[in-house]
Amino acid sequence: MKAAVLREVKKPLSIEEVEISKPGPHEVLIRTVAAGVCHSDLHFVEGHYPHPLPAVLGHESAGVVEQVGSEVRTVKPGDHVITCLSAFCGHCEHCVTGFMSRCISPDTRRLKSDKPRLAATSGSMNQYLNLSSFAEQMLVHEHACVRIRKDIPLDRAALIGCSVMTGVGAVMHTSKVRPGETVAVIGCGGVGLACINGAAIAGAGRIIAVDMQGSKLNLAKEFGATDVVNPKDGDPVKQVIELTSGGVHHSFEAIGLKQTAEQSFRMLGRGGTANIIGMIPVGVNIELHGADFLGEKKIQGSLMGSNRFPVDMPRLVDFYMSGKLKLDQMISRRIRLEDINEGLEELKRGELARSVIMFN
């Protein structure tokens, strides 16, 4: 099969022929239909986060089941599925206490003594984030995908696999936004727009979008932002505090920078919660003022929207089909696998919401 391979950090991905294994007892072979190009992929390309190389990248995807292993009961050939990088074992402490997205059990991966799921025509090949969806096929654990209804276009469904689940989940699960509360979202890319959309669905009273791109702020209004703040017009923290008479109940940092993480905490009102969704580079520290904690302000991380994806993703599909969840507007471009490096360059420029690779 064709796949986009990262062989060296800070170098373009190469389109190569990669071998894929047959499904094991609890594995599913999926024909990839669509895969979003996400900032998380870019972080690994640029070396901000380490990963064994060479590797087939990609992790935001949807497709059609082609084969299943002998013990698989959750999906069957012909099913349409969304994948999720937070594969879960179902029996570890995190899983049995309801925090499936935190699962790090090795049970969802093949043993080192087993034949690997992916292989280069000459040499080894590593699977990326349990998925490797920049490829014509994916071989995943059955707990890394969920069956969905067939009337949603799979390019839209793919977005639910990462950015939408991450953003909406951070609002509803991680921070538990309640009707009438105030929200600020820093960064209006795919994840940030999903946060805004999720806050609107949750009934937030005021939703403030923060971004330096005017086009993205205009898009944020379509997703439910009631106010927009451009840091080019002055200190965004001061602007948010003035809009809310003291700060927001919830802030969401969806970029992954030291400065914006610190701003997300400073724009909170008393008792507020800052949620860091963006991937801050390894080794970077953030600085907070100790006196702010006297106001019972909190800062926390959010991993894949604290999801229970086998339940959450079909519900998000229903939200889209009923018009509540906006996915059409999130797709800026549809590209071929061969255009992947151009899609990654667009991410660096920060001008578009989402490019989606189409495999048909």
Give catalytic status of residue 43 as yes or no: yes
For 39, the domain range is: 2-161+306-358
194 shares its domain with 228: yes
89 catalytic? Reply is no
| Closest C-alpha to 331, from 295, 300, 296, 356 | 356
Catalytic residue among 26, 59, 141, 250: 59
- Asked whether residue 153 falls in the same domain as residue 208, the answer is no
Per-residue pLDDT tens over the stretch 240-291: 999 999 999 999 999 999 999 999 999 999 999 999 999 999 999 999 988 8
Number of domains in the chain: 2
Q: CATH number of the domain at 131, please.
A: 3.90.180.10
Identify whether residues 81 and 125 lie together within a single domain.
Answer: yes
Position 212 in a domain:
yes
The answer to whether residue 171 is domain-embedded is no
Give the pLDDT score at 349: 83
Which pLDDT tens digit goes with each residue over 110-156?
998 999 999 998 889 999 999 999 999 999 999 999 999 999 999 99
- End-to-end CA separation in angstroms for the chain: 13
pLDDT attached to residue 83: 98
Give yes or no: residues 39 and 183 share one domain: no
Contact of 276 with 264, CB cutoff 8 Å: yes
59 classed as catalytic: yes
Query: End of a domain among 301, 318, 333?
Result: 301
- The order of strands in the sheet holding 227-229 is 227-229, 206-210, 182-186, 248-253, 268-276, 298-301
Is the CB of residue 159 less than 8 Å from the CB of residue 327? Answer: yes
Same domain flag for 154 and 24: yes
Query: Considering the domain boundaries, does residue 96 fall inside one?
Result: yes
Note whether 149 and 9 are same-domain residues. yes
Q: Which of 84, 103, 145, 162 is catalytic?
A: 162
Q: Is 95 a catalytic residue?
A: no
Last residue of a domain, one of 301, 323, 342: 301
In the chain, which stretches have pLDDT less than 50? none
131 and 238 belong to one structural domain: no
To the nearest 10°, the Cα dihedral for 356, 198, 63, 73? 160
**Residues 151 and 25 grouped into a single domain:** yes
Distance (Å) of CA 239 to CA 209, 212, 225, 256, 276: 11, 14, 15, 21, 20
User: What is the structure's pLDDT at 248?
Assistant: 98
**What per-residue confidence (pLDDT) applies to 360?**
82
Looking at 261, 286, 301, the residue that finishes a domain is 301
The answer to whether residues 236 and 207 touch, using CB atoms and an 8 Å cutoff, is no
Do 206 and 148 share a domain, yes or no?
Answer: no
Q: Rounded to an integer, what distance in angstroms lies between the CA atom of residue 51 and that of residue 218?
A: 36
Within-domain flag for 321: yes
Is position 143 annotated as part of the catalytic site? no
pLDDT at 137: 98
334 within domain boundaries: yes
Q: Count other C-beta atoms under 10 Å from residue 10's C-beta.
A: 8
143 forms beta bridges with none
Task: Please report, for the domain that includes residue 268, its CATH number.
Answer: 3.40.50.720
The verdict on residue 297 lying in a domain is yes
Instruction: Let me know whether 13 and 116 are in one domain.
Output: yes
Pair (147, 292) in one structural domain: no
Which is the catalytic residue, given 26, 38, 84, 332? 38
- Tell me if residue 120 falls in helix, strand or coil: strand
β-pairing, 182-186 with 206-210? parallel
- Is 168 within the bounds of a domain? no
Catalytic site residue from 26, 39, 43, 80: 43
Query: Is there a single domain that holds both residue 137 and residue 27?
Result: yes
Please indicate, yes or no, if residue 32 is contained in any of the structural domains: yes
Nearest CA-CA partner of 147 in 206, 94, 68, 220: 68
Cβ atoms of 206 and 272 within 8 Å: the answer is: no
